[in-house]
Amino acid sequence: MKRKNVLKTVIFLVAVTATLFHACAPLHEFGETPAYGGKNDIPYRLPAYDHSQKTVVIVANNDGTELFDMMAPYYLFSATGKANVYIVAKDKFPIVIKKGVFVLPQLTFTQVDSLHLHPDVIVIPFLAVGDSLHQDPVIVSWIKKHYADDVNILSVCDGAATAAATGLFDGKPITAHASDYEGIKASFRKPLWIQNTSVSGSGNLFSTAGVSNATEGSLTLISQLFGKETMQKVIANISYPYDSPKLSHQSNTFHFRDKVTIAKKLIFRKNKKLGFLLQDG
């Protein structure tokens, strides 16, 4: 009888452990940045370039770049129909994104230089780094090299760390994600750090607060570069709930209770599986 009870207990514990392991898989995946282990023999071709349009380059780190920080500006500027929009990186190698998704850069830094492309906008998403102080010197130098009075910089979320590392924001307002704001601020003292706004701007230097504020930052620059009419068309395209970029913002940090809420959803609720149709281009 004792053996049967022990066996039942063991089976029960194994079943519970397996269930929790399966349920917690999204939590593990959420925090991972997987390395790309596939082949790199994918045929590349140079993207189309229209001399009559403005050029927007979105800087990426091959080792990891935040998905929404990068792709939201890419879509929004492309939706204007008035810009050459490129994702550029140091190497012609897949860019790592969270949850096992990889994106190929359209151009490398070297190609941008050899083609003599002059960016009108440089977008800096949150790039994978060990910490705020240890930025990739190649990326930082490339941004500084291409900055000029007629070039707009848009830092998105914690891309503020890379933007601050360039020194271009010294003495200028800049913001970042509320949860990482103090840490980045401690690493870079020279910018004028501000909060409670979705977008900061000074001359041709712009930055956004949280991840989703990539929308407000992009719309702000679209209005400035292409006019309000074009901005309104993009707003209608994405069903944005306001007539203009919403600048009021509460810089609330991500607390432990928020993490518990996310954990409860991932573990105890059925998570939807989403599919995305990908096309060439």
Which domains does the chain show, CATH number per domain?
54-238 (3.40.50.880)
Residue 248 pLDDT: 76
pLDDT band at 8 (very low <50, low <70, confident <90, very high): low
pTM: 0.81
For residues 38-56, average pLDDT: 87
**SS3 string of the chain?**
CHHHHHHHHHHHHHHHHHHHHHHHHHHHHHCCCCCCCCCCCCCCCCCCCCCCCEEEEEEECCCCECHHHHHHHHHHHHHCCCEEEEEEECCCCCEEEHHHEEECCCEEHHHHHHCCCCCCEEEECCECCCCCCCCCHHHHHHHHHHCCCCCEEEECHHHHHHHHHCCCCECCEECCCCCCHHHHHHHCCCEEECCCECEEEECCEEEECCHHHHHHHHHHHHHHHHCHHHHHHHHHHHCCCCCCCCCECCCCCCCHHHHHHHHHHHHHCCCCCCCCCCCCC
What are the pLDDT digits (tens) for 24-42?
444 444 455 666 777 777 7
